[in-house]
Amino acid sequence: MKRRGILQATAAGFGSALPSWAFAQGIGSVKPGKPYAGTEINLLTVVAPQFKAHEAKLAEFEALTGIKVKYQYVPFANTREKLTAELVGQSSQYDVLSTMDVWGPSLYNLFEPLNGMLEEKKIEMESRYPYAHLRASRDGNGQGKNILGFPIRGHVQLMFYRKDIFDKLGLKAPNTWDEMVEHGQLISAKTDLSGVAMYYGKTAGQNLMIWFNYLWGAGGDLLDAKGQPAFNSPAGIAATQAYIDVLLKHKAAPAASASFNETDAVNSVAQGKSAMVPVWWWRYASLVDPKVSTLKPEQVAFAPLPSMPGKPNTTYTNTWFYGINKNSKKKAAAMEFLTWLSNPEIERSVLLDKSMNEVVAMQTKNLIDADVNLRYKGMHVFGAQALKGAKGTPLFPQWPQVSDVLEASISELASGKTQVKATLDDAASRVRKVMRG
């Protein structure tokens, strides 16, 4: 995409929505005079290349403030357990903590409300972040007045596909899930690749992340207005059947998808074994990195996720925020760090660092930045548009237990040993008990 096209797309989508002063607000700055010099902050965070890039810039922050920051990384599969231990133990070991949106309601009491500090620094969160991400850092199940952290990492979903294979077969990116299946079957018949790498295995709820789009696209939902299970409605049953049929009935996905996690599915495309994968945008780096992929950048293209026939595209969002531990003894210094780290220019510098392929942009200013979009072929303008109407799961304290029930159910269905309606009805029964508890 040429620069002119990017700027036109940006203007069309956002020119009338954002006033010229929108980004003059909310930058924030650290306090002059290094009042917290000599303080050491400990940060507990999930593993992510974006955070490694932040860590590499810490010398700049230390020179500016005299504050040292020490990172400790936790694998994704262990992060929720580690945060829960910090909450129960009321530990002050870590000053800054990262958590995922759906875990937030069960961990709200772990975080210090930032409202007063944000006001002091004149940081305007609403003009800085899309609502789909900002809600993750609010209490009250995403609707409260207290802001508990800065959205630091978040994703929209895309359909990544082998452009060279699609061009050879005369295919366009699939607009519907049915088209995805048809393309996948054709690719399997005409090449030595599987059609689409899906991921139905149990790994921290990853097998739910595409299922949500089937569910919403079919008119279903996770919970009803009373907070009770709705995923076993007729729409939910039909959506789940269609999701499982990709593997079991249509065989558009490799048989190994039954146990694949997200990484396995991405690797299937990166190693030239599958032609499509619906997945978070941050996985673009894995698909074009010569250290882990057999593909060249020109072989990889992306498009919005498919939809149900006649329905708009959906994308499930995922958001991580960094907040201050309520038990920290160094809250002011921790806020200095978050003020610096959340500066839009820090995020932009990572996006434009050509030694990386880091696509994650949280702030509206960077999502519509011309240089960012020029580098990533307009990916971020699409991300900004998708975030306008993007959905996340309802934020409620019981989500971790509900997620465990649902991911086990999807895994069972992918084995081919159970029926959709019976399995979802059983899951709904268990979820009702969780919600009562």
Domain boundary among 354, 369, 388: 388
Instruction: Please indicate, yes or no, whether residues 351 and 412 belong to a single structural domain of this protein.
Output: no
Please check whether residue 282 lies inside any domain of the structure: yes
The enclosing domain of 17 has a CATH number of 3.40.190.10
- Cα gap 281→380, rounded to integer Å: 10
- How many structural domains compose the chain? 2
Collapsing DSSP to helix, strand or coil, 276 comes out as strand
Domain boundary among 388, 408, 423: 388
pLDDT digits (tens, 9 = 90+) for 328-342: 999 999 999 999 999
Please check whether residue 393 lies inside any domain of the structure: no
Contacts of 319 (CB under 8 A, 6+ apart): 100, 101, 132, 133, 135, 136, 137, 151, 153, 154, 155, 392
Instruction: Please indicate, yes or no, whether residues 174 and 65 belong to a single structural domain of this protein.
Output: no
CA distances (Å), 70 to each of 43, 48, 53, 228, 343, in order?
A: 6, 15, 14, 42, 19
Residue 424, token pair as written in the block: 């979802």
Instruction: Please indicate, yes or no, whether residues 234 and 87 belong to a single structural domain of this protein.
Output: no
Residue 159: burial class (beta carbons within 10 Å; 0-12, 13-18, 19+):
buried
pLDDT (tens place) for every residue of the chain, 437 residues total: 444 454 455 545 544 343 332 333 345 789 999 999 999 999 999 999 899 999 999 999 999 999 999 999 999 889 989 999 999 999 999 999 999 998 989 999 999 999 999 999 999 999 999 999 999 999 988 889 999 999 999 999 999 999 999 999 999 999 999 999 999 999 999 999 999 999 999 988 899 999 999 999 999 999 999 999 999 999 999 999 999 999 999 999 999 999 999 999 999 999 999 999 999 999 998 999 999 999 999 999 999 899 999 988 888 898 999 999 999 999 999 999 999 999 999 999 999 999 988 999 999 999 999 999 999 999 999 888 888 878 877 888 899 899 999 999 999 999 999 999 999 999 999 999 999 97
Please check whether residue 170 lies inside any domain of the structure: yes
Instruction: Please indicate, yes or no, whether residues 137 and 262 belong to a single structural domain of this protein.
Output: no
Q: Range of 65's domain? A: 3-155+318-388
Instruction: Please indicate, yes or no, whether residues 135 and 263 belong to a single structural domain of this protein.
Output: no
Instruction: Please indicate, yes or no, whether residues 249 and 198 belong to a single structural domain of this protein.
Output: yes
Instruction: Please indicate, yes or no, whether residues 188 and 326 belong to a single structural domain of this protein.
Output: no
Helix (H) or strand (E) holding 195: strand 194-196
pLDDT digits (tens, 9 = 90+) for 277-301: 999 999 998 999 999 999 999 999 9
Please check whether residue 84 lies inside any domain of the structure: yes
Please check whether residue 74 lies inside any domain of the structure: yes
Instruction: Please indicate, yes or no, whether residues 240 and 273 belong to a single structural domain of this protein.
Output: yes
CA distances (Å), 365 to each of 129, 149, 174, 245, in order?
A: 9, 19, 30, 40
Taking residue 5's Cβ as centre, other Cβ atoms within 10 Å add up to 13
Please check whether residue 15 lies inside any domain of the structure: yes
Domain boundary among 349, 368, 388: 388
Render 148-162 in DSSP notation, one character per residue. Answer: --EEEEEE-EEEEEE
Instruction: Please indicate, yes or no, whether residues 331 and 290 belong to a single structural domain of this protein.
Output: no
Instruction: Please indicate, yes or no, whether residues 151 and 221 belong to a single structural domain of this protein.
Output: no
CA distances (Å), 102 to each of 99, 305, 320, in order?
A: 9, 22, 9
Please check whether residue 426 lies inside any domain of the structure: yes
- Label residue 66 left, alpha or beta by phi (over 0 means left) and psi (-120 to 50 means alpha): left
Instruction: Please indicate, yes or no, whether residues 94 and 230 belong to a single structural domain of this protein.
Output: no
Please check whether residue 57 lies inside any domain of the structure: yes
Instruction: Please indicate, yes or no, whether residues 193 and 100 belong to a single structural domain of this protein.
Output: no
